[in-house]
């Protein structure tokens, strides 16, 4: 079995708090190269990408204006294919892919799949986390034990009667890089695959979507922008939810439903008990602490 070449493709916008951590993590654990499109970030993203690309196998461009995520991901996938990629991971800045053994080994053993379906695990932030930063991810140690599947649960979420974390997240696909593949928005499936989609039990994605009050405000602004573009209520439902909660002056209520205090969510008058899950912290903790130590040493002249 030959070693496959794995590329990551990432479209990012104003998530500089996790960008460096995300890219370094995936280059160390799974990706041979990462292609990034920055969608007009205003938070220092371009400076981070410039530094990373000077030292690591990262290619990046920046494009302002309204971009259709699926089309951008599809274009990056085929650029990766032209550069020699055998498989492509559609990354998001707030998602961290993890395997029990090397991803290259897993993919080398797969001879027929057009894509692998990968489950996502949603991690929840502490309620008093005000700002988004890499170290804040180390507080995301809780999750809902058994999320609910189905359109009814999503409708209840959109109505403010259920937390997003109580709904089962859609899986994502890891794609074989073949001609004709088209990736819709969200990368939850794909068209034009060279083989079937196979469910993987060896790969997981740890998702850190709502990392602080600051991140919630960003989702609200994104929702307002998307609502002006499309009337489909099921397109980008998270951003639309936060835009609606802001419009109805219900942000504190909504944050209580999506952050933990005393081991639980507070959802429309219900207390939703959570279970502890430290896997994201175990995965990222060494990187976060190492980066913080380097910064402290640089500015204080001391070892930490």
Residue 299, pLDDT above cutoff 50: no
Contacts of 301 (CB under 8 A, 6+ apart): none
Round the average pLDDT of the chain to a whole number and report it: 88
For the whole model, what pTM was predicted?
A: 0.89
Contacts of 109 (CB under 8 A, 6+ apart): 1
Q: Is the pLDDT of residue 169 over 60?
A: yes
Q: What is the pLDDT of residues 245-261, one digit of tens each?
A: 888 888 889 999 999 99
Within a domain: residue 1? Answer: no
Q: Which residue has the tokens 């055998």?
A: 86
Asked if pLDDT for residue 302 goes beyond 70, the answer is no
Q: Among 162-166, 225-229, 268-272, where is mean pLDDT lowest?
A: 225-229
Q: What is the Cα–Cα distance from 120 to 95, expressed in whole angstroms?
A: 9
| Residue 72 included in any domain | yes
Q: For the chain, how many structural domains are there in total?
A: 1
Q: Over pLDDT 70: what percentage of the chain? A: 89
Q: What are the DSSP calls for 180-191, one per residue?
A: T-B--TTSS--B
Q: Taking the mean position of all CA atoms in its chain, how far away is CA 277? A: 17
- Tens-digit pLDDT profile for residues 22-70: 999 999 999 999 999 998 888 889 999 999 999 899 999 998 877 888 9
Which is more confident, 228 or 289?
Answer: 289
| CA–CA gap between residue 201 and residue 270 (Å, rounded) | 33
- 146 falls within a domain: yes
Written as six digits, the tokens of 184 are 């819709």
Domain that holds residue 249: 6-300
CATH number for 250: 3.90.550
CA distances (Å), origin 294, targets 55, 276, 297, 300? 17, 30, 5, 10
pLDDT of 166 > 70? The answer is yes
The answer to whether the beta carbons of residues 98 and 207 sit under 8 Å apart is no
Q: Residue 238: what pLDDT?
A: 74
184-213: average pLDDT: 93
């Amino acid at each position: 079995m030959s070693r496959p070449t794995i590329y990551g493709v990432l479209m990012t916008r104003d998530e500089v708090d996790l960008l460096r951590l995300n890219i370094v993590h995936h280059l160390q654990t799974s990706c041979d190269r990462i292609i990034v499109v920055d969608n007009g970030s205003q938070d220092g993203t371009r400076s981070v990408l410039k530094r990373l690309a000077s030292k690591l196998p990262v290619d990046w461009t920046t494009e302002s204006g309204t971009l259709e995520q699926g089309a951008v991901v599809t274009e990056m996938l085929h650029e990766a294919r032209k550069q020699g990629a055998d498989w492509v991971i559609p990354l998001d800045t707030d998602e961290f892919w993890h395997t029990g053994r090397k991803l290259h080994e897993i993919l080398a053993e797969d001879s027929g799949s057009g894509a692998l379906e990968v489950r996502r695990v949603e991690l929840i932030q502490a309620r008093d986390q005000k700002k988004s930063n890499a170290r804040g991810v180390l507080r995301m140690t809780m999750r809902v034990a058994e999320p609910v599947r189905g359109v009814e649960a999503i409708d209840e979420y959109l109505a403010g009667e259920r937390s997003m974390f109580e709904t089962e997240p859609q899986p994502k696909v890891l794609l074989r890089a073949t001609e004709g593949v088209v990736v819709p928005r969200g990368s939850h499936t794909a068209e034009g695959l060279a083989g079937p989609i196979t469910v993987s039990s060896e790969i997981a994605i740890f998702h850190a979507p709502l990392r602080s009050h600051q991140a919630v405000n960003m989702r609200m602004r994104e929702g307002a922008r998307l609502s002006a573009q499309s009337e489909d209520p099921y397109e980008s439902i998270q951003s639309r939810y936060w835009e609606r909660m802001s419009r109805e002056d219900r942000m504190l209520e909504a944050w209580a439903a999506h952050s933990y205090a005393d081991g639980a969510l507070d959802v429309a008058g219900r207390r939703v008990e959570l279970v502890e899950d430290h896997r994201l912290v175990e995965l990222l903790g060494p990187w976060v602490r190492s980066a913080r130590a380097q910064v402290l040493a640089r500015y204080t002249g001391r070892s930490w």
